[in-house]
């Protein structure tokens, strides 16, 4: 992928090719199918579980999608919440071939904006250490102490 003027040149797996694609459009609570989510997760080597999106969507404050002008899904982030002050970024994803182009940062920007508009005071996110530069640098999160309990048995 390369930036040419205001356009993006993106190449996707399986022979699909998107040349001179305009910058993605971002949508809050836009249409999204489970099949699109499975494809997005697999595009960067993740383990996709069919039916996942249909099961969890109703529990979200909302979600943000990033799409090419032709409708191809570039990215996604889910925003869960406690119904009041706390929102949580879950499952942020950017298509494997479109990573490191600012799409993830913009997804988070829109999610934070919408959480604020819903009256939330805090947005939480957890991540692996390798993503600290993204969340602390590009997205503006600050480090905080937190706790975690692993609920699955090893190998389970």
Q: Which residues are CB-neighbours of 39 under 8 A, at least 6 positions away?
A: 48, 73
Mean pLDDT per 10-residue segment, the chain (156 residues)? 34 37 84 94 88 90 94 95 95 88 94 96 94 95 89 74
pLDDT at 97: 85
What φ, ψ does residue 35 adopt, rounded to 5°? -60, -40
- Residue-range domain boundaries for the chain: 24-138
pLDDT at 110: 96
Question: What distance in Å separates the CA atoms of residue 30 and residue 26, rounded to the nearest whole number?
Answer: 9
pLDDT at 96: 84
Check: CATH 3.30.1540.10 for 24-138? no
E-strand spans in 33-103? 60-67, 73-81, 86-94
Contact 48, 42 (CB under 8 A): yes
pLDDT at 123: 97
């Amino acid at each position: 992928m390369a930036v040419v003027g205001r356009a993006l040149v993106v190449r996707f797996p399986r022979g699909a090719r998107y040349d001179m694609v305009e910058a993605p459009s971002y949508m809050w609570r836009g249409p999204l199918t489970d099949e699109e989510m499975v494809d997005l997760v697999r595009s960067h080597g993740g383990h996709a579980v069919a039916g996942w999106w249909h099961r969890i969507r109703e529990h979200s404050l909302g979600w943000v999608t990033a799409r090419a002008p032709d409708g191809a899904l570039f990215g996604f982030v889910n925003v869960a919440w406690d119904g009041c002050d706390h929102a949580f970024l879950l499952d942020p994803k950017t298509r494997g071939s479109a990573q490191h182009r600012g799409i993830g940062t913009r997804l988070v920007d829109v999610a934070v904006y919408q959480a604020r508009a819903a009256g939330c005071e805090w947005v939480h996110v957890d991540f692996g250490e390798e993503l600290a530069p993204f969340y602390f640098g590009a997205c503006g999160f600050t480090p905080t102490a937190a706790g975690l309990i692993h609920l699955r048995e090893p190998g389970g």
